[in-house]
Chain A
Amino acid sequence: MTDLLVARNVSKTYFDTVANDNVVALDDISLAIRPHQFVSVIGPSGCGKSTFLRLVAGLDRPTAGEIVVSGRKVTGPGADRGMVFQEYALLPWKTTAANIEFGPRLKKLPKDEREAITRRFVELVGLKGFENKYPHQLSGGMRQRAAVARVLANNPTVLLMDEPFAAVDAMTRQRLQEELTAITTQERTTVLFITHAIDEAVFLSDRVVALSGRPGRIVADLAIELPRPRRWDALVNDTRFAAYRDELTRCIHGNKA
């Protein structure tokens, strides 16, 4: 199968105005992702994992190397690489439905088609009955569901997620993780997921890429072969789950210095 997303020798150096020095955030990252794969990138804070995601999104430019998505080199942001942020980033002046409809509206899809898409994704993330609420009227978990629906409704080639569940409480987080694996399995979405939580990465992913501390280099690339759909009550005592988690923990901490 051909790769959907290819990063070739990507490096990112930026100038830190506080330290008054150049900082190497990412050093020579190469990575290829196949369609329908759920890939997580983990690493300690400051390892450049979010920087990598921003380069894929086209929100920043690499200092060296290139990123290619569906055969096209990334030169800027685009609707084929929709991103879900930790801070939800819903538009406060649009209702849940209007936020989800936003991408299809930019694409100038006909009204009935837009409404059908919106209805489908509102239901998919379990927000039926909240279509006409504004983001400030929703809980954190509901806001993040709306943010995921907003990107999925835009039918992206790859769904980019930057620590999306870091700001919600632990119980909501587990429920959102279960919903996300169910949805992305059902929709066969290609996902590039950034997190610092190892158990989250193992739970969600087909493959986990671990980065070392600054500068970020790939120190592990592990296929996670756990059956789907995944549920926490089944996996929490699973020995294979524990083995993956321990191996990734060793990789990250062994390379900390």
Chain B
Amino acid sequence: MRAARALLAELFPFVAALAVWQALSAANVWPRVLFPPPLEVAQTFAADLASGVLLVNLGVSLKSLLLGFAVGCAVAVPLGYLMGLSRASRNFFDPLVNLLQAIPGLAWIPFAILWFGLGQGAVTFIIVMSVFFPVLHNLLTGIRMVQPVLIEAVRTLGANRGDVIRHVIFPATLPNLMTGIRLGIAFGFRSLVGGEMIASTDGLGYAIFNAQQYFQSARIVVGMLTIGIVWLAMDRLILRPIEQRTTMRWGLVREGLEQA
């Protein structure tokens, strides 16, 4: 009963948005090609799902996104801890990182195509460049925010440098790392769609772009909604449970500030 209620509360905002969308479509203010109605989008969604096109595109895009995200994090996370914990490496890398981080991932498209050719290799490279900086930047902020008194306390309990990193720095930086990961994935999605529109011939971004060429506006919406649903699933099934088990449980992060 309570679970059913929670599900209803969860679905309500989507139902409300759908109702507004339907009402606006029914008012017939704009032609269908400019503002496709929910039913047409649902039919297209079902058709693309049945034909397998949608899942193939989704699979291609998810592979690029996850690979790009993994590579980006695999470089950014160790580099972040290295820069945060060693002045020499910070002094060396900080100017380079600052120079590069203002350059959008999409600006790498020309080189990505030259180096990897048209296709998902180029897209993955762009995603790596997009994921890398938000993860690194947030991790560095997290390291700067570690309370010195926690480090001092464990050192008077006999902790060496490795113990401090493992028992203080890692858990203390987790909230910021999670923020970095969220931003990294969000930036990754932007680059995925942008990259596939220009540098690829498959994937969700390409499908959106291609649908526009044929005025299949419902199919554009299907592509957009699929990205939204995939992100929502990642957030609810992976990121939130991690946070609920760690940073929220430790009292480092709250749901909100209703009492304010």
- Please report A residues at the B interface, Cβ cutoff 8 Å: 57-59, 77-79, 81-83, 85, 87, 89-93, 102-103, 106-107, 134-137, 147, 150-151, 154, 160
In the bound complex, residues from chain B placing their C-beta under 8 Å from that of A79 are: 156-158
For B155, the closest partner residue in chain A by CB is: A77
Tell me, rounded to whole Å, the shortest Cβ–Cβ distance linking A186 to chain B: 22
> Dominant SS at the A interface?
loop
Known: A89-B152, A93-B252, A106-B158. 19 other contacts (CB 8 A): A77-B156, A82-B157, A83-B153, A85-B149, A89-B147, A92-B251, A93-B171, A93-B246, A93-B250, A102-B157, A102-B167, A103-B158, A134-B250, A134-B251, A135-B251, A136-B250, A136-B251, A151-B156, A151-B157
A91 touches B167 (CB 8 A): yes
Tell me, rounded to whole Å, the shortest Cβ–Cβ distance linking A123 to chain B: 20
Between A and B, how many residue pairs show CB distances below 8 Å?
Answer: 68
Quick one: which of A92, A103, A134 contacts B157, CB cutoff 8 A? A103
For A77, the closest partner residue in chain B by CB is: B155
B251 touches A78 (CB 8 A): no
Quick one: which of B149, B155, B157, B168 contacts A154, CB cutoff 8 A? B157
Over the window 150-172 of chain B, the binary record of Cβ atoms lying under 8 Å from chain A Cβ atoms (1 yes, 0 no) is 10111111110001000110011
A150 touches B167 (CB 8 A): no
The answer to whether B87 has its CB under 8 Å from any CB of chain A is no
Alpha-carbon distance between A77 and B157 when the two chains are bound, in angstroms: 8
Say yes or no: A78-B171 contact (C-beta < 8 A), given A89-B153, A134-B249.
no
In the bound complex, residues from chain B placing their C-beta under 8 Å from that of A59 are: 152, 155-156
Quick one: which of A81, A90, A91 contacts B156, CB cutoff 8 A? A81
B158 touches A107 (CB 8 A): yes
Tell me, rounded to whole Å, the shortest Cβ–Cβ distance linking B117 to chain A: 46
Alpha-carbon distance between A79 and B158 when the two chains are bound, in angstroms: 4
Say yes or no: A106-B159 contact (C-beta < 8 A), given A89-B150, A89-B153.
yes
Say yes or no: A89-B251 contact (C-beta < 8 A), given A82-B156, A103-B158, A107-B158.
no
